[in-house]
Amino acid sequence: MPVSAGISQKTMAPSRTEQLISNLLKIGIALTSEHDLDVLLEQIVTEARRFTRSDAGSLYVVEDGLLRFVVSQNDTIMKRQAGAVQKNPYLNRTIPISHQSLAGYVASTGQILNIRDAYKIPASEPYHFNKEFDERYMYRTRSLMVVPLKDPQDTVIGVLQLINALDAHGKPVAFSGMVEELVLSLASQAAVALKNAHLTAQIKKAHFDSILRLSVAAEYRDRDTYYHIQRMSRYSALISKAMGWSKGEIDLLLYASPMHDVGKLGVPDSILMKPGPLTQDERKVMEGHTIIGADILGNPDSDLIRVAKSVALSHHEHYDGTGYPYGLRGDRIPLEGRVVSLADVFDALSSRRCYKPPMSLDHVIEWVRQERGKQFDPVCVDAFFEGVDEILEVYEKYKEPEPESAKEPQPATPTG
């Protein structure tokens, strides 16, 4: 069959436009398949930058009538810092949704901005560029595309900023009109994905809140249970995070660990609330809460309850085999039990109880160090110290309110 004139028999290479459209479709699929909110926020900026060949990018989300700065990426600054990850002081700052900033203008008007040079914006424009970031990091912002993320109801739920477009050779260029149209399409896909991720996060939060309330109900006789569960579950998540667990595994432990002491339902008040040392017989009854908890959570048909049962049964086992109920040693103790054991004991020692005052944090931290390889798995202890700054933040955030008796004015000390 003859070949039509002017058409090569070889497959024609896709044009730049065709490549962009193909990439846009792939990005849309990738975004809609990601439901972890934190991962998605980073992914939106990463994919948009790759799509537009942008040197940098940032993302704001609308919260309580303000814009919160949640993502910042900048290849030039990262190269200058030799790839070292440094905390951006601007992250999590909020700014008004107003014409005082580019992002605020876009959020308030819903209009896209495509700026050739941020330093040459005419004074007559209703928005202006803030040079604070550039001056702080010795950076030069030139081209800018500021894009509203709109949900299906046409409400702006975020703002994407793409900074310094580059050509195929890494030279600065302006964002083209063609790219602008495609980025608007990308922003629509990102907004839908962001909305879905928000809904997923709200469901997870409600799920966790329900677990906390049920766990507190199971131990309602202990007034400090609520704060204990809030802390130890988050300590467990931070330790497992430092151990390199996946996000799904970390979340599973976060939700399962509050049920670690559900077996205390079967412990009499006279033992559970006793303000002094337990007798040997009383201690045996107390130790039975691990087996009672496993029975309550028996025959699990979900991963969550399976992990919760394992934690309830094993969180008082010691790495050296001196724990209970079975005296398991080392790797025979389920890993989730080893993690929760450390989180639970750290919180118990550093908190007030009906039978004791709290130990000082310095004392508890040093004791944890000394119990490495004894009561606690060395890997868990190392992970604890890797995330200790975040652990201490949780300690402060979820600290029990000071008891009323401690707030009463104390009588003056006699001076003779």
The span from the CA of 252 to the CA of 230, in Å, is 15
Contact status, residue 193 vs residue 32, Cβ threshold 8 Å: yes
Please identify which residue in the block is written with the tokens 């604070």: 132
List, for residues 170-183, the tens digit of each pLDDT value.
899 999 887 888 88
CA distances from 144 to 335, 336, 362, 383, 386 (A): 49, 47, 49, 41, 39
List, for residues 180-209, the tens digit of each pLDDT value.
888 888 888 888 888 877 777 777 676 666
| Chain-centre distance for alpha carbon 345 | 24
Mean pLDDT within 206-218: 66
Nearest residue to 261 (alpha-carbon basis) of 325, 328, 303, 216: 216
Q: What is the DSSP string of 361-402?
A: HHHHHHHHHHTBTTTB-HHHHHHHHHTHHHHHHHHHHTPPPP
Mean pLDDT within 42-50: 87
Question: Mean pLDDT across the chain, nearest whole number?
Answer: 84
List, for residues 360-388, the tens digit of each pLDDT value.
999 999 999 999 999 999 999 999 999 99
Which residue type is seen at 293?
G
What's the predicted TM-score (pTM) here? Answer: 0.61
Which residue type is seen at 126?
P
Q: When comparing pLDDT for 162 and 184, which is higher?
A: 162
The span from the CA of 315 to the CA of 328, in Å, is 11
Quote the radius of gyration of the chain (alpha carbons, Å): 28
How many beta carbons lie within 10 A of that of residue 226, not counting itself?
17
Mean pLDDT within 314-333: 97
Classified as helix, coil or strand, 159 is: strand
List, for residues 299-320, the tens digit of each pLDDT value.
878 888 899 999 999 999 999 9
List, for residues 234-271, the tens digit of each pLDDT value.
999 999 999 999 988 999 999 999 999 989 888 898 88
List, for residues 126-138, the tens digit of each pLDDT value.
998 999 999 999 9
Q: Which residues contact 130 (CB under 8 A, 6 or more apart)?
A: 101, 102
Q: Which residues contact 184 (CB under 8 A, 6 or more apart)?
A: 112, 147
The span from the CA of 32 to the CA of 125, in Å, is 36
Which residue type is seen at 119?
Y
